[in-house]
Amino acid sequence: MAAALPPPECVLCHRSDTSLDGCGLMQQVDGVCAHVNCLRCCICRKKGATVACRQKRCSRRFHLPCSSQRGCISQFFGEYSSFCWEHRPQQTVETLQEGHTTCIICMEVVEDSLSYTTMVCPSCKHAWFHRGCIQGQAYRVGLRHFACPHCRDQERFVPEMAQMGIRVPDIKPACEQEEEEELALPQLHGRCDARQCLYRGGREQWEEEG
């Protein structure tokens, strides 16, 4: 006769007891056992938080959409690590602001020192920006064009921004798509028989050039 299996252990708190007021009941998630309450989001307190802080011994878990509300960071490269607000990586650039510093992107004031929302270029140490503003920039231009808006550095700038949780998508940036469309214009106009030609120089100029 087979021996009775030991009760399953929660992968998060390593206990096997269940109680309705404490850890809650045991739940199977992705093939592992965990208490319902051990899987709660530490920000919204709701169930099913799949992102965990990477720091050893930190038990904070959260939903990805909740993470920015409390200053948690998720890195979108390598091991895709996440960190809670207490253990998130910080910029270590030593820099001083000159008087009231504004965001180089939106021109609104930034905080007095580096924080979750206020960041600086590690290369020129001169360009300050909001997290949301530099994230917007990264989405617009993509990996190949992402650079400090002030000194255009990529070598130190891009890895540091990625480290700080800025997502830099490897996409064809919007500006290149526009460039390609512009390049395609004369060709289109070669076949254009519209009464009002939209070619910038007018149809006559186009015909002269062609």
The least CB distance from residue 203 to Zn ion, in Å, is 7
The least CB distance from residue 1 to Zn ion, in Å, is 30
- Distance, in Å, from the CA atom of 13 to the CA atom of 9, rounded to the nearest integer, reads 8
Token pair, residue 113, equals: 């020192």
The least CB distance from residue 168 to Zn ion, in Å, is 16
Distances (CA, A) of 47 to 145, 173, 188: 39, 37, 55
9 by Cβ neighbours in 10 Å (0-12 / 13-18 / 19+) ranks as middle
For Zn ion, the closer CB: 17 or 172 = 17
DSSP 3: P
The least CB distance from residue 43 to Zn ion, in Å, is 5
- Distance, in Å, from the CA atom of 94 to the CA atom of 175, rounded to the nearest integer, reads 33
For Zn ion, the closer CB: 50 or 177 = 50
Give the residues lining the site for Zn ion (CB under 5 A).
10, 12-13, 23, 35, 38, 41, 43-44, 53, 55, 58, 60, 63, 66, 84, 87, 103, 105-106, 121, 123-124, 127, 130, 133, 148, 150-151, 189, 192, 197-199
